[in-house]
A and B are shown apart, each in its own frame.
Chain A
């Protein structure tokens, strides 16, 4: 998973959320549970205090008395953590009563710690009692006797918090386990969610890649409702791109038509005029013809450069050209062969490949005696992948000097065959526009060999 990715963003957000929310939830749950547990403990103490108070009143008179049975057996067990005591206040003499569990020990009273009473006159405090036990103490004041004999007594009950702490500790551990498990569970679910949720995007990525390599023309397939508008927009963009290119091509075609017919008329008209003026018109119109051809080719190339998603089957184009040339050069009874593996594809425009191969094969047909050969092969171990195209003939070929000379526009190496001399220059321009290379050499057939290296489309 890359840092700068939607998957990472979704995952990181969920993980962060998990690490913030789960601990907070844990703290909150624990606090609520603790409050509830302590409140329950306090309710028990309050109940015992009420029982003790009633018992002391019922069994006493002017002084407190007790039946020593206030409903909690632990009051009889020494240092059980459960104690009660009734003691006179204000250092006045009086009867002091304590639970058997307290023996000779004492525990501090909330009133001694200056704790104010609540609405129900009860005072609550957490204190350290016998054997360093943490005790929760509830205390209430009661006056025994009347008149001068009246005496205020403190009646208190203490209960150890050790049980509460044990219960809270156990709850804490279980809560932690549960939340940890929930955290990991959430992360796992998020991972799955991210992978599952982003699957349509990966499908779109795959489709776009297919468009780029020329395997598809548009984004197809059923996508979720959220992605459907994106798919529709991308398809509209692709269509618009194709239409722009088509329009550009049509305009170039129209321009060609608009210019070339008048030039043809001028050339033919001027040929009938044998004066110097006629000669000049011919010379200039020939120049115009070459320029128009050259720049229209450039315009076509410009319209094609950067067009995505084009791959062209080399064999189909090669065979169509061979068929056409066979008819054009019917009289020469040429053997035009195409040796190309099935499925070999040029990564680029069909028209570009047709122009390159068409010009080269046409040239080869013009010069050949009997044989023209087109060989196409994928090149091994090239990055990016490349293919090799060889167009060879058994004609006179070129001299070493001619082969060494750079390809020049309009420069014809032989004037005895018809043509504008633009063929190799167009091919060289097109090869370069398609990030390829153009080389001329000698063929083992005896004539010229032209070698093109061009981008290979994925199979």
Chain B
């Protein structure tokens, strides 16, 4: 899962990036509206944390322009202006949620997970696929109730597949959603991670669709 943090306060920006990285996200960050807008316009993020009071271009303008360009990624507005008129204006600009500063990082993470789940069509905080279960609240993956040890990249990969289970996910899509912008992307590494995951969960659950990508299936039905 890829996240974008647009926050001009460098300490808060750093804290947000760290918390999101710890929560299993590949995180890019921007310190002003223009840079944030550019990243949101060109990269496929699964969630955006957007401050309203930004230099160069304010958060609401950034959001409105994204929405005009049909960018549908979930956006959580972060602001010190906590009046309801600000919230209404923020939501009317196309935000999916709104969090006033100061906030508890846990609350923000919970809202981020809820938005990511919602965007991929899952109502519950737990996503299941056969014996495999992802608790989005705790970022824990279990197989038949037993926790599986995963590296951060493995977690990102299985979490993304679980969020989009039932549909074919291309390698390009996986690369775009699993790595930060500056990461040296090589689609072959995806195959390496798929191979590792197949050793930790029933291998037939990850089905390779030749020429198209991968699909997570509860029973491992044929391609």
Contacts and interface: CB of A to CB of B under 8 A. Distances in A.
Given A261-B12, A355-B84, A418 B107 contact: yes
B91 A324 contact: yes
B182 interface: no
Interface stretch (A25-33, A58-66, A238-246, A326-334): A326-334
Nearest to B107: A418
Contact of B102 (A285, A327, A331): A285
A330 B102 contact: no
Interface string A246-274: 00000001001111111111111101000
B25 interface: no
Contacts of B105: 268, 271
Given A323-B91, A327-B91, A267 B85 contact: no
A38 B38 CA distance: 110
Interface in A345-359: 350-351, 354-355, 357-359
B118 A358 contact: no
Contacts of B96: 327, 330
B88 interface: yes
A366 interface: no
Given A257-B53, A264-B101, A271-B105, A354 B12 contact: no
Nearest to A271: B105
Contacts of B107: 418
Nearest to A418: B107
A261 B85 contact: no
B91 A328 contact: yes
B136 to A, nearest CB: 12
Nearest to B96: A327
B123 A264 contact: no
B101 A350 contact: no
Contacts of A258: 80
A328 B98 contact: yes
Contacts of B83: 300, 351, 354-355
Nearest to A261: B9
A331 B101 CA distance: 23
B82 interface: yes
A49 to B, nearest CB: 105
A418 B80 contact: no
Contacts of A268: 12, 15, 19, 105
Given A269-B15, A289-B102, A330-B118, A257 B88 contact: no
Interface in B102-130: 102-105, 107, 114, 118, 123
A261 B101 CA distance: 6
Contacts of B79: 257
A103 interface: no
Contacts of B81: 253, 256-257
A354 B104 CA distance: 24
Interface residues of A, number: 36
B102 A260 contact: yes
A320 interface: yes
A253 B100 CA distance: 12
A321 interface: yes
In this complex, the member of A261, A266, A328 whose beta carbon has the largest number of chain B beta carbons within 10 angstroms is A261
A331 B92 CA distance: 18
B87 interface: yes
Contacts of A321: 84, 88
B11 interface: yes
A358 B102 contact: no
A310 B155 CA distance: 55
B118 A269 contact: no
A264 B12 contact: yes
A354 B15 contact: no
B125 to A, nearest CB: 9
Given A331-B114, A331-B123, A351 B85 contact: yes
A289 B88 CA distance: 23
Interface string A167-194: 0000000000000000000000000000
In this complex, the member of B84, B91, B105 whose beta carbon has the largest number of chain A beta carbons within 10 angstroms is B84
A431 to B, nearest CB: 15
B85 A350 contact: yes
B176 interface: no
Contacts of A300: 83
Interface in B1-52: 9, 11-12, 15, 19
B154 interface: no
B97 interface: yes
A247 to B, nearest CB: 16
A320 B96 CA distance: 15
Given A256-B81, A354-B84, A264 B102 contact: yes
B59 to A, nearest CB: 12
Contacts of A267: 102, 104
Given A257-B80, A260-B80, A320-B88, A328 B97 contact: yes
A358 B95 CA distance: 17
Interface string B41-83: 0000000000001000000000000000000000000011111
Contacts of B80: 253, 256-261
A257 B107 CA distance: 20
A70 to B, nearest CB: 109
B15 A265 contact: yes
B11 A354 contact: no
A357 B87 CA distance: 13
13 contacts: A257-B53, A257-B81, A259-B80, A262-B9, A266-B102, A267-B102, A327-B91, A328-B98, A330-B96, A331-B118, A351-B83, A351-B85, A358-B87
Given A259-B80, A358-B84, 15 more contacts: A256-B81, A257-B79, A260-B101, A260-B102, A263-B102, A264-B102, A265-B12, A266-B102, A271-B105, A293-B82, A320-B92, A323-B92, A327-B91, A351-B84, A354-B84
Interface of B: 9, 11-12, 15, 19, 53, 79-85, 87-88, 91-92, 95-98, 100-105, 107, 114, 118, 123
Shortest 5 CB-CB contacts between residues of A and residues of B: A358-B84, A264-B102, A260-B80, A257-B80, A354-B84
